[in-house]
Amino acid sequence: MYVPAHFSVSDHDALFRLIRENPLGVLVTHGRSGLDANHVPFELDPSEGERGVLRAHVARANPLWREVEDGAEVLVVFRAEHAYVSPNWFPSKHEFHKQVPTWNYRVAHVHGTITIRDEEPFLRALVGRLTTVHEATEAKPWKMSDAPEDYIEAMLRSIVGIEIAITRLAGKFKLSQNRELRDRLSLGETLKSRGDVALGQATLDSIEAPK
């Protein structure tokens, strides 16, 4: 990923926070049949290994787990909020007419090595944790014990686990940090007024805490 210095984020806590808040990652692999990409919700465990671990599962029918070998290098891309940016939102444009359209976003790229995990205890524990996390906002959270045990066992047999040991993290928060202060302030407020509240606030926050 091309990352100009003013957009680069090396703070692991900030990148881990982005991953937790946007757990659906794009897993890019290069197996026997060539390049492949799968969209998978991940669990992040930053305390394991040297740099943390990602865990997820895919359908057993998905050829991914047969195509890649244990220890193969993979890439997972996590993207947070993003939006088109019009030149008209920058005060300097109306004065100097030297602005062009762009697209702002926040992403984290996770490089690592993959291991296929097909043990039932691993899968049961992983699914249980993912369920607990993503059901937490429900008024009456669903839990695995709500379904018949034989059904859960059948569902577990239909998936395969993957574990990725993180070897490198790269972050790019493209929030117009290369613009004038007045343009950044205007952009942040304009995005919020147009409904892109998270990106607008991230833009304003980047003024206070540049990365």
Tokens of 102: 């762009």
pLDDT at 82: 97
Distance, CA of 49 to CA of 8 (rounded, Å): 24
Joined together, the tokens standing for residue 41 give 């919700």
CATH of the domain at 125: 2.30.110.10
Confidence (pLDDT) at 49: 81
What lies within 8 Å, CB to CB, of 201 at 6+ separation is 188, 192
Kindly give the confidence (pLDDT) of every residue in the chain, 211 residues in length, as a single tens digit, with 9 standing for 90 and above: 999 999 999 999 999 999 999 999 999 999 999 999 999 999 999 998 889 999 999 999 999 999 999 999 999 999 999 999 999 999 886 777 778 999 999 999 999 999 999 999 999 999 999 999 999 999 999 999 999 999 999 999 999 999 999 999 999 999 999 999 999 999 999 999 999 999 999 999 999 765 4
Burial class of residue 5, CB neighbours in 10 A (0-12, 13-18, 19+): exposed
> Has residue 188 been placed in a domain?
no
pLDDT of residue 6: 93
In whole angstroms, give the CA distance from residue 192 to residue 200: 5
* In a domain? residue 197: no
Q: Which of 183, 188, 184, 186 is nearest to 201 (CA)?
A: 188
The predicted structure's pLDDT at residue 45: 96
Report if residue 184 sits inside a domain: no
In a domain, 107, yes or no: yes
The predicted pLDDT at position 93 comes to 67
- pLDDT at residue 96, rounded to an integer: 75
Closest to 102 (Cα-Cα) out of 171, 196, 203, 174: 174
Please tell me the pTM assigned to this model.
0.92
Q: Residue 201, Cα to own-chain centre: how many angstroms?
A: 19
Tell me the helices (H) and strands (E) count for the chain, helix number first.
Answer: 7, 8
Q: Is residue 175 part of a domain?
A: yes
Q: Which residues are within 8 A (CB) of 73 and not within 5 positions of it... i.e. 6 or more apart?
A: 30, 111, 112, 113, 114, 167
Range of the domain at 21: 5-82+100-179
Residue 196 in any domain: the answer is no
In whole angstroms, what is the distance from residue 178 CA to residue 184 CA? 9
Is 44 domain-assigned? yes
- Does some domain include residue 69? yes
State residue 208's pLDDT score. 72
Please state at what angle helix 149-157 crosses helix 120-134, rounded to 10 degrees. 110
Number of domains in the chain: 1
